[in-house]
Amino acid sequence: MYSFNQLFRQEFVSMLLEDIQTFGSFLINHHGIDQSAILEALELQRKQSVPFGRLAIEKRYLSVENVLRVLAIQIRSTKRFGEVAIELGLLNEVEVIQLLELQGEQRKKLGDILIDMKVFPSDKRDELLDAFNYFTEARDKHS
């Protein structure tokens, strides 16, 4: 089981940076996918992500007023929504982890966005994901 800090930093940040950007970098560096297509897909993915505060409201963890309270503080800091909510005593670590996991599950995958953009067909995505997984497993064995 991951600790809160591992999930908060690793699951949220690494999920975005490693799983998405590394897959994007892999597509650019090893399969000739245009960098501008990857950047456009990442931007679409970011725009389509359900905001953390909205998920907290939908799960009835926070009221609209409390989300606005967190956002007002977050705007003036470099902290993430969940960190501020915990500091204010509005959410606990387990709730933040649950919301982060839900947010990750609901986020449209980079490969699916690239299919929608007609960068490659769905069968090619599966082939590329298999190649990426093989690449990362081999890399991890030699690290």
pLDDT value of position 67: 98
Mean pLDDT of the chain: 85
| pLDDT, tens digit (0-9, with 9 covering 90-100), for 77-128 | 999 999 999 999 999 999 999 999 999 899 999 999 999 999 999 999 999 9
Token representation of residue 111? 């490969």
Q: How far apart are the first and last CA of the chain?
A: 23
Amino acid at 128: L
CB proximity list for 11: less than 8 A, separation 6 or greater: 2, 97, 100, 101, 104
Token representation of residue 12? 């949220």
Per-domain residue ranges of the chain: 1-49+109-137, 50-106
Rounded to whole angstroms, the Cα distance separating 28 from 70 reads 38
User: Model-level pTM?
Assistant: 0.66
